[in-house]
Homo-oligomer: A and B are copies of this chain.
Amino acid sequence: MINFTPGPSQLYFTVENHVRQAFRDGVPSLSHRSKEFEKISKTTTDGLKELLGIPSDFHIFFVGSATEIWERVIQNLVEAQSLHFVNGAFSKRFHEIAGQLGKKNLKIEASLGDGFTDFKVGPTELIALTHNETSTGVMLTMDFINQFRDQHPEALIVVDAVSSLPYPQFDFTKIDSLFFSVQKGFGLPAGLGIWVVNDRCLAKAESLLSKGISIGTYHNLPTLLANAKKNQTPETPNVLSIYLLGKVVEDFLRRGIQLIRKETEYKAALLYQTLTQHKLADPFVNDAKLRSQTVIVAQTGMHTEAITKHLQSHGFYPGYGYGDKKKEQLRFANFPTHSKETFEHLVDLLEKFS
């Protein structure tokens, strides 16, 4: 059985072996104040920096989930007002969280499946971008993301890359913070969020604190940094997950990030081509430049159930469409755990069903 749901995803194929090794080495009962944990934490952090090209002046923090990071971003980085680009359920939730925390949360919206056009952005403290909208399969282009730095040198630019990493190569001179969780592209069991920030973010949190604004407690940026400098965490973290992430990152590095990127694009091209030519399905996202490379959404309309059953009968489990699209769309995760052969088999099955 192969699982194409966009998260939690099919596990990366090495994970079960790494879990076995972790138990043999006593990782699950390591103290988070021990040298052994510090070594694991450093291995994972260093590996991520190498894999994703994260510059040395960025910090990597381990927290509970990407959902937590939405909250921590607003708490630590926004005094009064944030601006959100909203084009689906997840970017919408990020926007809502800012409102729940009492901030003025501006938004620029695009229709589902579309990109952002004709937008004007006034001065803002923070620009929130969702690189890959998991609900619709729209992926922002790097040109789009990278334009904001020059236009808004005052703003912190924060990118939700939950369902796209490790695929995208970000230009870290154009953004201030990036975050993701481990149960998507990294193919790990859920329960860990990764928050990457630069010193501008730290300075902002310190400045809010000095104004007497609450930035939270154990997971505010200064506390996270003070612990991360020792390769520790403020609380007892998901030690096993931090270990497993380090191991999978090592696997990715061994395979080579360029190869992973090329294969991702090859598999995406294969599936989009098949959908484009298919009689019963279409790519949901019309503009080819905006089509996600990692979460491919098919408009399958009245054929959704039949296609699903056909694929499932061969052990291939697509993800349902998100929310009210459940009965008319299918979503296919295209993560490093999904091999080229798997995708070739998938398109073969789709082509035969028409």
Interface of A toward B, CB cutoff 8 Å = 1, 3, 5, 7-11, 15-16, 19, 23, 26, 28-32, 63-68, 70-71, 97, 100-102, 181, 183, 188-192, 214, 216-219, 234-241
Contact = CB atoms under 8 A, between A and B. Distances in A.
Contacts of A183: 29, 236
Copy number in the complex reads 2
B29 A68 contact: no
A309 to B, nearest CB: 18
A7 B218 contact: no
Given A191-B191, A236-B183, A8 B29 contact: yes
Nearest to A181: B236
A234 B26 CA distance: 31
Given A28-B189, A189-B239, A235-B67, A100 B214 contact: yes
Given A19-B19, A68-B218, A71-B217, A236 B102 contact: no
Nearest to A19: B19
Contacts of A31: 5, 7-8
A120 B266 CA distance: 71
Contacts of A5: 29, 31
A67 B233 CA distance: 11
Given A71-B218, A190-B239, A239-B191, A8 B32 contact: yes
Given A8-B32, A16-B23, A65 B216 contact: no
B238 A189 contact: yes
